[in-house]
Amino acid sequence: MSFDLLAEPIRRYVRDQRWESLRPIQAAAIQHILATDDNYILASRTASGKTEAAFLPILSKVDFRQPGVRVLYISPLIALINDQFHRIEQLCKYLEVRVTKWHGEASRAEKKKLVQQPEGIVLITPESLEAMFVNAPYSVSALFAQLQYVVIDEIHSFLGTDRGIHLKSLLSRLEAVTVARSFAVVGLSATIGDYAEAKRFTGHEDRTKVLLDRASKEMLTSFRYFPATEAGGDLPLSLLKDLYKQTSNSKVLIFPNSRGLAEVIAVKLRQIADRVGGHDKYFSHHSSVDKEVREYVEHFAKHNQRQPFCIACTSTLELGIDIGSVEKVVQVDAAHSIASLIQRVGRSGRRDGEQSQLLLYATKPWSLLQSLACWLLYREGFVEPLRTATQPYDLLLHQALSTVKQLSGCPEAELVARLHANAAFSTIAPAQTAGILAELLRIGWLERIGQEVIIGVEGEYVVSSRDFYSVFKTEPAFKVQHAGKTIGEIPLTPQVKENENLLLAARIWKIKYIDEKAKKIEVMPAHDGKKPIFLGGGGVVDARIRTKMLELLSHPSQHPELDEASQEALRELRQEFAGFTLSDTAHQRPVLVKEGKLVLFTFTGTRINRSLVFLLNCLDAPVTYAYQEEDSSFTLALTPAQLPGLVEQLRLFAIDVYGYLEVAVRENPGLLDFAKWGASLPVTCQCGVLKERYFDFEGTADFLQNTLLVFSQLPQAASFTDGFQEGV
């Protein structure tokens, strides 16, 4: 049925592929895309042919004899563009349509040719599109004036992120240069939790539809518990031995949540394999491993059908790039989000009829509890809700500079109007935009010439810098080399000294010398070393995960997926909370009374805990406290009678926090380090960015208002506010 709707050359392509049938998502996409000019989100599991689902109908529909680029494909990764280029080019040979890669590592000659004769399909990254707007705005209109379709791959990776707001703004600006003032958008993804958000992303929620294939693969899951021997130490040997036994004969991906631990696992498993005569295909894969080394690992995994292998990796192997069939996925300690767990699980079982396995290791009781909570929520189909910023002042600042550069200056009123008309910034009031522009004029990033604003002297440095095109920050790093070969890149931490040993790319190295000027570290092979240290902020855990953890502690549910040691660890943890009778885990929170102190377990998300820490530091009469993210607990030097009063005080601060935020941001500008362009905003906007993206004071006030405290040694529950009234 759907097949017959395709153009003849495309039908020939499908026949030549010898596919038995079209996949469900392909059949649905063909019917819908050919019938309407609406936007579509195509959601179905990895390796289900989404690229073809989009391109078969689009190529059948679009008239490529017209001049101009007709289809633009946008990807979050260069590697994905290179992957997709081959597939799309194969398909386009049947139509004699030109396909051009346009990213930082693509051929300049090809780009130049395309500008001279704009046609066909272009594959691009958001940053390259940004660069084109800034450096060659005439090319943007020359290439894209006749644009008919924009395909966004892995669209979930943009949703709810700064990079997503950036891309949304670029799409809005792109629409403005097309003759038709619009194009259709097709978004592709395997993991979308929030379809409304995906629809809004296209800029036209009302004419965006979702085509969804829910089919998924069953995984054989088991939890395994090996308690860490020392705090902050490496993994216990018993875990590594078990891990080796479980994985030595399979094709495996191991996700240990950090680059350092990925190295430890790859090196230690290789050492065990050496001793017992196992295979030697142990790799590590993360951002600090050299790109060529990573490509070799990906290539090996993809083209190797029979041999077992093991890759210890971070989120570099979560997205899109096809690495062939994986039989087992191992997660060491809890994944930071359910969205991430879904992507990781999705890396295995790409072939039909293959049984795949998920192994969840834990080294600490709380991590086991969190891991179990995440897995149960994943099974329930829960994905963290996305919070797209409604006041992204920092991204507006970036796009304001980019727009002024694009237009070579423009009247201030027109700039304000353009930014307001941009779908990414429609929720920002023009008065706020004017305030941001005033600040840019004040610091010399913009200048006023007559009626127009242009890029200022200081601004030229910013806009001309290589770092301008992206909205995310990166840490400076040193190249690690051995005998002329680059192994990877690491930040210069105190650990990096001559004669120190470190692990990188699944090997052990001794540092020979450090060339500060050239930013290079020369190393030689060694036999023993420490894991590399990387600097990073903390993770953000959703409140729903913490509530699930509390439910697991309060209700004696059975989980056959847990091994004996895990069962025992869970039993012990439940025992610690046996003194509390919690009937309403949505609102009740336990407070342990011991040794003249209180331990308040908030069981809420990182943002609210973070806000509570901030509010505690605002108090006029300081309270001694210690906060732990692992078990979401606050240890307070208070008596039970004092707690309700404190809580009410914090709630009042949370409702009217602005003054405190302003003081904090002036005293400690580092608070805004998470926002690349935040430092140049007016202080009011800086506070707005902090409030919306780092803290959650509204949620905190809500939490403080509605939570019922259950003390371990008091007979009955007391509400925060009740308690406060009693205290008065």
Q: At a CB cut-off of 8 Å and minimum separation 6, what does 459 contact? A: 401, 440, 444, 445, 446, 447
Shortest distance (Å) from residue 317 CB to DNA: 9
> In this chain, which stretch among 98-106, 268-276, 390-398, 683-691 interacts with DNA, using CB under 7 A?
98-106
- Which residues are CB-neighbours of 542 under 8 A, at least 6 positions away? 337, 338, 384, 385, 605
Among 11, 49, 89, 135, binds DNA (CB under 7 A): 135
Stretch that binds DNA, among 129-137, 643-651, 663-671, 693-701 (CB under 7 A): 129-137
Structure tokens at 110: 């090809």
- Measured at the alpha carbon of residue 91, what is the angle toward residues 105 and 63, in degrees to the nearest 5? 95
Q: Does 125 engage in binding with DNA (CB under 7 A)?
A: yes
Using the rule CB under 7 A, give the single segment among 128-136, 243-251, 394-402, 687-695 that binds DNA. Answer: 128-136
Distances (CA, A) of 143 to 39, 111, 121, 225, 525: 22, 11, 10, 57, 50
Quote the tokens at residue 197: 């958000």
Q: From the CB of 546, what's the least distance to DNA, in Å?
A: 9
The stretch near DNA (CB under 7 A) out of 21-29, 175-183, 301-309, 530-538 is 530-538
Please identify, among the stretches 324-332, 470-478, 633-641, 699-707, the one whose residues bind DNA according to the rule CB under 7 A. 470-478
According to the binding rule CB under 7 A, does residue 384 interact with DNA?
A: no
DSSP summary character for residue 425: S
Beta carbon nearer to DNA, 312 or 657: 312
Nearest approach in angstroms of CB 164 to DNA is: 10
Could you give the CA distance from residue 349 to residue 219 in angstroms, rounded to a whole number? 8
* 466 lies in the binding site for DNA (CB under 7 A): yes
Q: Does 368 bind DNA (CB under 7 A)?
A: no
Q: Of 538-546, 555-563, 684-692, 713-721, which segment contacts DNA by CB under 7 A?
A: 538-546
Nearer to DNA, 76 or 278 (CB): 76
Check residue 455 for interaction with DNA (CB under 7 A).
Answer: no
Q: Which stretch binds DNA (CB under 7 A): 173-181, 281-289, 519-527, 578-586?
A: 281-289
Residue from 461, 472, 513, 658 that binds DNA (CB under 7 A)?
Answer: 472
CB of 618 to DNA, least distance (A): 24
Number of residues engaging DNA in binding (CB under 7 A) = 49
Give the x/- contact pattern for DNA in 216-245, rule: CB under 7 A: ----------------x-------------
Report if residue 340 touches DNA, rule: CB under 7 A: yes
Nearer of residues 134 and 269 to DNA, judged by Cβ = 134
Residue with tokens 């770092």: 467
Contact 202, 209 (CB under 8 A): no
Altogether, the residues listed in the chain come to a count of: 728
Strands of the sheet containing 520-525, edge to edge, are 485-490, 478-482, 520-525, 507-515, 501-504
Minimal distance, residue 257 CB to DNA, in Å = 6
Q: What is the dihedral of CA 227, 233, 236, 237, to 10 degrees?
A: -170
Q: Is residue 257 within the footprint of DNA (CB under 7 A)?
A: yes
Site string for DNA, 293-332 (x = CB under 7 A): ---------------------xxx----------------
Which member of 34, 136, 212, 613 binds DNA (CB under 7 A)? 136
By CB under 7 A, name the one of 76, 137, 203, 590 that touches DNA: 76
Cβ at position 333, least distance to DNA in Å: 7
Kindly tell me which of 127 and 175 has the beta carbon lying closer to DNA.
Answer: 127
DSSP 174: H
CB atoms within 10 A of CB 450: 8
| Contacting residue, 67, 385, 539, 659, with DNA by CB under 7 A | 539
Based on the shown chain and the rule CB under 7 A, indicate whether residue 286 belongs to the binding site for DNA: yes
Contact at 8 Å (CB) between 67 and 92? Answer: no
Report if residue 519 touches DNA, rule: CB under 7 A.
no
Closest residue by Cα to residue 147 from 187, 204, 185: 185
Could you tell me if 2 and 22 are in contact, meaning their C-beta atoms sit under 8 angstroms apart? yes
Asked whether the CA dihedral 296, 297, 298, 299 is positive or negative, the reply is positive
Q: What are phi and psi of 721, to 5 degrees?
A: -70, -40
Please, where are the H alpha helices in 325-424?
Answer: 338-345, 365-379, 393-407, 412-421
**Cα gap 416→208, rounded to integer Å:** 28
Q: Tell me the backbone φ, ψ of residue 640, rounded to 5 degrees.
A: -55, -35
d(CA 728, CA 649): 12
23 touches 53 (CB < 8 A): yes
Q: Does 353 contact DNA by CB under 7 A? A: no
Does residue 387 touch DNA according to CB under 7 A? no
Binding of residue 104 to DNA (CB under 7 A): yes
19 binds DNA (CB under 7 A): no
Which C-beta is closer to DNA: that of 164 or that of 644? Answer: 164
Q: Closer CB to DNA, residue 39 or residue 633?
A: 633
Q: Could you tell me the smallest distance in angstroms from the CB atom of residue 424 to DNA? A: 16
Residue with tokens 């101009």: 68
Please report how close the Cβ of residue 581 comes to DNA at its closest, in angstroms: 26
Contact between 118 and 142 under an 8 Å Cβ cutoff? The reply is yes
* 163 interacts with DNA by CB under 7 A: yes
3-state SS class at 718: strand
Minimum separation from the CB atom of position 66 to DNA (A): 26
For residue 238, the number of C-alpha atoms closer than 13 Å in the C-beta half-sphere is 10
Which of 654, 622, 664, 667 shows the shortest CA–CA distance to 720?
654
Residues 33-72 that bind DNA (CB under 7 A): none
Nearer to DNA, 318 or 412 (CB): 318
Spatial separation of the C-alpha atoms in residues 48 and 123, rounded to whole Å: 21
Q: Does 259 bind DNA (CB under 7 A)?
A: yes
Does 82 contact DNA by CB under 7 A? no
Nearer to DNA, 212 or 492 (CB): 492
Rounded Cα distance between 323 and 301, Å, is 6
Check binding of 635 to DNA (CB under 7 A).
no
79 lies in the binding site for DNA (CB under 7 A): yes
CA–CA separation, 255 and 8 (whole Å): 45
Cβ proximity to DNA, 188 vs 416, nearer residue: 188
- For residues 228 and 231, give the distance between their C-alpha atoms in angstroms, rounded to a whole number: 7
Q: Smaller CB distance to DNA: residue 548 or 651? A: 548
Closer to DNA by Cβ: residue 524 or 540: 540
Q: How far is the CB of 563 from DNA (least distance, A)?
A: 21
Q: Does 77 bind DNA (CB under 7 A)?
A: yes
Phi first, then psi, for residue 431 (nearest 5°) are -65, -35
**Shortest Cβ 488–DNA spacing (Å):** 10
193 binds DNA (CB under 7 A): no
Structural contact between residues 249 and 308, judged by C-beta atoms closer than 8 angstroms: yes
459 counts as binding DNA under rule CB under 7 A: no
Q: Quick one: which of 627, 652, 622, 668 has its CA closest to 721? A: 652
As a whole number of angstroms, the distance between CA 402 and CA 256 comes to 39
Write out the residues near DNA by the rule CB under 7 A. Answer: 76-79, 103-105, 125, 127-128, 131, 135-136, 163, 232, 257-260, 286-288, 314-316, 333-334, 336-337, 340, 366-367, 370, 466-467, 469-470, 472-474, 534, 536-541, 629-630
